[in-house]
Amino acid sequence: MKEILVLKGDGVGEEIINSALKVLEEISNKSDFKYNLNFAEIGGDAIDKYGDPFPEETKEMLKNKDAVLLGAVGGPKWDNIESDKRPEKGLLRLRKEMGVYINLRPAKIYEKLLDRSPIKNEIVKDLNILVVRELLGGIYFGKRDIYVEKGIRKAYDVEFYDEKEIKRIAKYAFIAARDRRKKLSLIDKANVLDSSKLWREVVKEVHEDFKDVELEFLYVDNASMQLIKNPRNFDVILTNNIFGDILSDELSEITGSIGLLPSASIGDSISLYEPIHGSALDIAGKNIVNPIATILSVAMMLKFSFNREDLAKEIEESVKKTIEKDILSFDLNKENYYTTKDITDEIIKNL
Ligand code: IPM
Ligand code: MN
């Protein structure tokens, strides 16, 4: 029996997790895949209960689990808490604790949604990109401080990487590219940052073992333009923690909506699955959030943690069918939208 830890978090977290769990339940009813659910708190939800966004109680629950499914964290209610106790910090501590250094964010465009993209059809058609984002290093985890010196307020955040951190994720990205269209784009700011220069050096060295994969280098400012101008140039994007965060939001809008993109965070032990979007407090509790990013995160879980690509494919196909029937949530069709529950039911029906 597979043990899954579920952390719904804040805002729309509860609704998207409920949807995703319903889909998982149906998959299990229809197959030999069996699992057991365990629940714990993260983010603001955990602050309210324990005064800590990643409490010992939640950390303890990670033991003997096979995968973690997470909704979203954050919200204005916890905005004025000191930065070390914010909901987002809970997510970062969870990722660190789990050792998940590879964050996979696949982005595809559905034929049916071409008109939802702000980019012209002929440019965005067939877009299929995998973002491989480093998740445990860089400015997210570097030294930081905010202080007053001689009456002047000062602050800094350090972008730091060592070669081992770069090498392990670069290897993964080349292997992923080998299975796809064999092109890897390293996105950095090597014309300014020393940390980016190290990324280039190390990625070039790793490339020696992957000569069948084409490697290109792009500065992040140019890359964010190229993503809009010529997104089909990209196959696998490899980048650091902060650039990966920013570029994946850009990419999500290009594919139609941030409500569509799932993610898997992988390390040497158990993996974490979550949509790339946030807690969307403005639409929470209204039964209008798009559940697809989380449902597709469950598909990634089946594939990566449980080796059930067959079941993952079933979910992906069913999501596609639902979109093709024009059963779209509020983010994709404001005039004539279906509720979170409608979409979930339809995806279950199409399984
Ligand atoms: C994401 C989110 C998180 C991140 C936040 C909530 C800490 O934006 O997963 O993309 O920046 O990694
Ligand atoms: Mn983000």
Residue 276 CB–ligand 1 contact under 6 Å: yes
| pLDDT tens-place string over residues 245-270 | 999 999 999 999 999 999 999 999 99
The amino acid that residue 190 corresponds to is A
pLDDT band at 171; cut points 50, 70, 90:
very high
Range of the domain at 210: 118-254
32 is a domain residue? yes
Same domain, yes or no: 199 and 282? no
Q: How many domains does the chain have?
A: 2
Strand order in the sheet with 236-239: 35-40, 2-9, 67-72, 271-275, 262-266, 102-108, 128-134, 236-239, 183-188, 214-219
Residue 223 in contact with ligand 1 by CB distance below 6 A: no
| Closest residue by Cα to residue 95 from 63, 137, 142 | 137
Residue 68 lies in a domain: yes
Residue type, 247: L
DSSP at 152: E
**Does the pLDDT of residue 162 top 90, yes or no?**
yes
**213, two tokens:** 């994969």
Q: How far is the CA of 10 from the centre of ligand 1 (A)?
A: 13
- What is the CATH classification number for the domain harbouring 242? 3.40.718.10
pTM: 0.97
244 shares a domain with 273: no
Is 249 a residue of the active site? yes
pLDDT tens digit sequence for 184-209: 999 999 999 999 999 999 999 999 99
DSSP character at residue 6? E
Is residue 221 part of the annotated active site? The answer reads yes
Q: For residue 223, tell me if it sits in a domain.
A: yes
Query: Is residue 111 over pLDDT 90?
Result: yes
pLDDT tens-digit readout, 295-318: 999 999 999 999 999 999 999 999
Encoding tokens for residue 238? 């490899």
Task: Read off the pLDDT of residues 203-260 as tens digits, 9 standing for 90 and up.
Answer: 999 999 999 999 999 999 999 999 999 999 999 999 999 999 999 999 999 999 999 9
Q: Are residues 243 and 133 in the same domain?
A: yes
* In-domain check, residue 46: yes
Q: Quick check: is 189 catalytic?
A: yes
ipTM of this complex prediction, to 2 decimal places = 0.99
Of 254, 280, 305, the residue at which a domain comes to its end is 254
Share of the chain above pLDDT 70, in %: 100
Verify that 198 and 129 share a domain, yes or no: yes
Residue of minimum CA distance from atom 3 in ligand 1: 88
Domain end residue (candidates: 254, 286, 305): 254
